[in-house]
Amino acid sequence: MRSQNEIGNSRTTKAPAAAAPAVSRRSVLKGSTAAMGAAATFAAMGTNFAWAQVSEEIKVGLIGCGGRGSGAAVNIMEAAGIVKQGVKIHACADAFASQTKRIQDKYKIEAKNVFAGLDAYKELVASDIELVIMATPPGFRPIHFAAAIDAGKHVFFEKPVASDIWGVREVIAAGKRAQEKKLAAVTGTQRRHQTNYNQAIEQIHAGAIGDVTHMSVYWNGQDIWFRQPEPGMTAMEEQVHNWYHHIWLSGDQICEQHIHNLDIANWVMNGHPISALGLGGRQVRDAMGQKPGEIWDHFGIEYEYANGARVLSQCRHWPKSDSNVSEYAIGSKGTFSGNDGTTSLTIGGKKQTFKSERSGYVQEHVDMINSIKAGKPLNEAQRVAESTLTAIIGRTSAYTGKKVMWDWAMNESKQRLVPENISKDAEPPKVVVPQPGVTPLV
């Protein structure tokens, strides 16, 4: 791996300058005795504690400068304005130098803080940033998340947080380390930060619609992009470039997109499922010329929860078909309906509607920054890892034709799709379309 500009990168890690929530960095820098004492106390507790604090202008590093990464950079800047906190996009990294250019130009990032290559994250997390935004293909997330937490950085990481069961376990373990170090680990499951979902689900948990016995959740969309290889790309780079179509990188649609709706199911049900039984296939992708690639284009999964309730999930990429991205719950006293903008509860024939007061994409950054400033950094790692695993056990059941139990997956499965060597010239995983009866349950 090399930086985009072949800089030697001899930067040292930022000294722990900050102190307790009650003592601002400015007062530490002014050298007041009380503040110096607090700084010494926190230094004695270990640098990790001090890292949980941030500067007056939080230095942000972005890994993955594509569509969502660019969007998240805009979102955190908007959030910064709302909470009146200085934030600066200070460094960026991407597998491809061509992708970093727009971000570098837009935020006037110094050349020494711009990194390119499949290993660029290593230099970014070792730089003097305080918070990392991760928006690469999901397969890389467990590796990047662990590296950022181990380097003492707060993290905003996009969903899903893994593409395989190995990755889910890595994220849970790194999430625990984040907790110990008082580092934020906030994920791009923006519905969790929207008032429309929070207000309705709070009422569900208070018993408004009675016991929830059934949910249906959907991400039925039309299609997804397909990227042809560009001249000079190695076989590994071709897969990374066209990442959605490779399971080790995207986790397939059920993981990559449908996680949003499965996350709502787990939220409403107050926990994760105990098993998944699913089906699906690759019906239209070949006809659409989406080769090479091994992802399917539809899934239908039945999840069972600990109380016996069932959640039926559908997702698909079928052109010219009806779209539906939503959630629906049936309780003993009423029903819940949710979609990105609006949710509602219907009880005794009366409908109560809830609107999202602010874009979830901005609110999640508002909540993250506020939590860091308050010294109580949000940590969503375990929860989003569980929602990721919910998608993965559904996918695994569909691919293999077997019922997949949660406890088996969490504790015994040996599923690892992400290769150990992810260098530019390494051989990428083979393109094999999963087939029930042939694809093994491991």
Closer residue to ligand NAD, CB minimum distance, 61 or 434: 61
Per CB under 6 A, which region of 92-100, 162-170, 196-204, 402-410 contacts ligand NAD? Answer: 92-100
Closer residue to ligand NAD, CB minimum distance, 42 or 267: 267
- Backbone angles phi and psi of 298, in degrees to 5: -160, 145
Q: According to CB under 6 A, which one of 61, 91, 127, 137 is a site residue for ligand NAD?
A: 137
- Interface with ligand NAD includes 136 (CB under 6 A)? yes
Per CB under 6 A, which region of 46-54, 74-82, 91-99, 328-336 contacts ligand NAD? Answer: 91-99
25 near 52, Cβ under 8 Å?
no
The torsion defined by the Cα of 395, 316, 160 and 95, in degrees rounded to 10, comes to 110
Which residue is closest to ligand NAD by CB? 66
Site map 179..198 versus ligand NAD, x via CB under 6 A: ---------x-x--------
Distance separating the N- and C-terminal Cα atoms of the chain: 32
Quick one: which of 264, 302, 300, 262 has its CA closest to 283? 300
Helix (H) or strand (E) holding 252: helix 252-256
Tell me the pairing of strands 324-331 and 334-338.
Answer: antiparallel
Q: Counting Cβ atoms within 10 Å, is residue 114 exposed (0-12), middle (13-18) or buried (19+)?
A: buried
Whole-number Cα distances in Å, 292 to 62, 223, 439: 29, 16, 19
Distance (Å, rounded) from C-alpha 81 to C-alpha 423?
39
Q: According to CB under 6 A, which one of 62, 131, 204, 240 is a site residue for ligand NAD?
A: 240
Q: How many of the chain's residues bind ligand NAD (CB under 6 A)?
A: 26
Whole-number Cα distances in Å, 286 to 90, 168, 283: 42, 30, 7
Closer residue to ligand NAD, CB minimum distance, 130 or 158: 158
Q: According to CB under 6 A, which one of 38, 52, 120, 417 is a site residue for ligand NAD?
A: 120
Distance (Å, rounded) from C-alpha 103 to C-alpha 106?
5
Q: According to CB under 6 A, which one of 159, 245, 285, 316 is a site residue for ligand NAD?
A: 159
Per CB under 6 A, which region of 31-39, 73-81, 90-98, 164-172 contacts ligand NAD? Answer: 90-98
* Least separation in angstroms between CB 152 and ligand NAD: 20
- Backbone angles phi and psi of 269, in degrees to 5: -80, -5
- Interface with ligand NAD includes 118 (CB under 6 A)? yes
E strand spans, 282-388? 298-304, 310-317, 324-331, 334-338, 342-347, 350-355
Closer residue to ligand NAD, CB minimum distance, 69 or 331: 69
Q: According to CB under 6 A, which one of 60, 94, 149, 200 is a site residue for ligand NAD?
A: 94
Quick one: which of 225, 253, 213 has its CA closest to 395? 253
Closer residue to ligand NAD, CB minimum distance, 239 or 396: 239
- Interface with ligand NAD includes 93 (CB under 6 A)? yes
* Least separation in angstroms between CB 43 and ligand NAD: 33
34-73 residues in contact with ligand NAD (CB under 6 A) are 63-69
Closer residue to ligand NAD, CB minimum distance, 96 or 305: 96
- Interface with ligand NAD includes 237 (CB under 6 A)? no
Per CB under 6 A, which region of 19-27, 93-101, 305-313, 319-327 contacts ligand NAD? Answer: 93-101
Site map 248..287 versus ligand NAD, x via CB under 6 A: --------x-------------------------------
* Least separation in angstroms between CB 220 and ligand NAD: 16
Per CB under 6 A, which region of 131-139, 170-178, 192-200, 264-272 contacts ligand NAD? Answer: 131-139
Which SS3 state, helix, strand or coil, does residue 49 take?
helix
Distance (Å, rounded) from C-alpha 72 to C-alpha 359?
12
Closer residue to ligand NAD, CB minimum distance, 11 or 101: 101
* Least separation in angstroms between CB 366 and ligand NAD: 15
- Backbone angles phi and psi of 180, in degrees to 5: -60, -35
Quick one: which of 82, 39, 79 has its CA closest to 60? 79
348-367 residues in contact with ligand NAD (CB under 6 A) are none
Distance (Å, rounded) from C-alpha 250 to C-alpha 245?
7
Q: Is the peptide bond before 377 cis (omega within 30 degrees of 0)?
A: no
Helix (H) or strand (E) holding 42: helix 33-44
User: Both tokens of residue 232?
Assistant: 């000079």
- Interface with ligand NAD includes 341 (CB under 6 A)? no
User: Both tokens of residue 63?
Assistant: 């890994």
Distance (Å, rounded) from C-alpha 295 to C-alpha 258?
14
The binding site for ligand NAD (CB under 6 A) comprises: 63-69, 93-96, 99, 118, 120-121, 135-138, 140, 158-159, 188, 190, 240, 256
